[in-house]
Amino acid sequence: MACSYQSSTGGPRLNFSDYLRVIRRHWVGISALTFVGVLVGGVSTFVVEPTYTASTKLFVAIQSTGSVSELQQGNTFSQARVQSYIETVTTPLVLDPVISSLGVSTTSADLAKKVKASSELNTVIIEISASDASPVQAAAIAQGVASSLVQVVDELEKPKTGGTSPVRLTILSPAAAPESPSSPNVRNNLIIGLVAGLLAGLSFAIIRFLSDNTIRTEEDLRRLTDIPLLGGVAFDTDAAKSPLISDSQGQSIRAEAFRQIRTNLQFAHVGQSSRTLLVTSSTPGEGKSTTAANLAISLAESGQSVLLVDGDLRRPKIGEYLGLDRNAGLTTALVGNADVEDLLQPWGPQGMAVLTSGQIPPNPSELLGSEAMKHLLMYVEAQYDIVVIDAPPLLPVTDAAVLAQHVGGVVLIIEAQATKTAEIQRSISALEMVAAPILGVVLNRLPVKGPDAYSYSYYGSDVQRQQGTRRRDSRNSSQPYSTNGYGSLESSYEEDGIHISSLTGQRSPARFRSSRFADED
């Protein structure tokens, strides 16, 4: 039963199905962040001041009338000089005359930030572009820089001995005022916002998935432990008002879920000498009491004689769920104030017997771990096919761990999407410390929709089809049954290809006096 869970800090590996589950589980967050990204991209388009860019092109040539080889050498010379001219564009030597001619109040350093010069490889064409909030001003700057560069190059390339410059720059296309802004680019901003928002949403979802330390699905349980999964019970909003499967239709999805758990439990219980089953959970509120009651009802429906014991002596619920008196029950028998046979209460048409908790004692752990409790369990095991005990949760108190030493198996209830993996690990360790046989786990309150939904499609289709044909005589409301909870209960039930027949017959009433506990202590 050792835990094999790999925590998020250890970096569990995600396969393709995990990524799909992440997207389905967190699609709202992913969509919201994606929308925010697109919204930011769109807002930035209207918030940022538009910028206009104008450009002009210059051609660099060598003034020569020589042979073809001389022209080729001149072209190579021009290409080599182009990069130098590009670097000259943003120098004060070129920009200062532009500032003077345009009459703008700026410096050459500030103007250089608005000007850009470039040239394609192996060409003698220089492109000069200028950006400004005004399209007219952008064109004026670009044209002024181009004209200034022509003059500066002419002065720089003149021979010291005098004469004309061998290099000539010619403006190929004058700068014109642009009709539309170069930035912001609406399309690019929206695409960037979409991609950034989507990446942020996926990152958020994956981080949430890796940091989630709750058990949501069977796959999560497999990462945590190799304890068998007996079944899952879907979340039902009506369960709070009608927690028992007998309160709903006999062929409901919830009832079928408990029958499936019953079948799996019979396989898990093979080889166990004790017929006492303890139902517990890690923390309060996970549905252990309703699971214990419904499991007992389901076992009784299969024709077995069942005793349901409310062993939660701190917050007993069985009496409340079944509508029975709990003032006299288990604690009454353990302290020797009444005989067990006088405390058993019949319930349901199947003749299930119930032993409620009795008065809440000041020392529940001592009572549950006493020899009296041990002998009581030995006695009722001899009287019933199976005994189901609703025990307190494992982590808050030690009652369940103490009681688990005297039973044939433990069923651990886990509330899906709520119970932490650390809590389950501590619960399993507590049971292993007392060598309690853990028969399996029941995932309770599983979602019926979404990525973590438990599959009920088999029941959903077959239940409607078998409504009129798959009913047992024992569930007929007109069938009489013994008021004392005993009698001949003979039935059979065909489930999932497995024939389950009861081993019941006429049983005599239990004769066990609690005074024997004191005699054998």
CA 233-400-219 angle, 5° bins: 35
Integer Cα distance of 508 and 506 in angstroms: 7
Integer Cα distance of 495 and 264 in angstroms: 11
Q: Which helix (H) or strand (E) holds 431?
A: helix 421-433
How confident is the chain (521 residues) per 10-residue block, as mean pLDDT?
Answer: 43 65 81 90 82 92 61 65 90 93 90 93 90 93 94 87 82 91 84 91 84 80 87 77 67 82 79 81 92 92 92 92 90 88 88 92 90 90 92 92 90 90 92 91 81 50 38 36 30 31 33 36 34
pLDDT value, residue 65: 54
Integer Cα distance of 407 and 229 in angstroms: 20
Residues near 399 by beta carbon (within 8 Å), at least 6 away in sequence: 311, 312, 313, 314, 364, 365, 368, 391, 392
Q: pTM of the prediction? A: 0.60
Quick one: which of 402, 73, 6 has its CA closest to 225?
Answer: 6
pLDDT value, residue 497: 31
Question: Do 75 and 160 contact (CB within 8 A), yes or no?
Answer: no
Quick one: how far is CA 11 from the chain centroid? 16
Supply the DSSP symbol for 329.
S
Question: Do 253 and 460 contact (CB within 8 A), yes or no?
Answer: yes
**Rounded to 5, what percent of the chain is helix, strand, coil?**
45, 15, 40
pLDDT value, residue 247: 54
Supply the DSSP symbol for 8.
G
For the record, the structure tokens of 136 come out as 């007219």
For the record, the structure tokens of 327 come out as 């003032």
CA 136-139-140 angle, 5° bins: 85
pLDDT value, residue 273: 66
Quick one: which of 175, 151, 176 has its CA closest to 165?
Answer: 151
Question: Do 78 and 198 contact (CB within 8 A), yes or no?
Answer: no
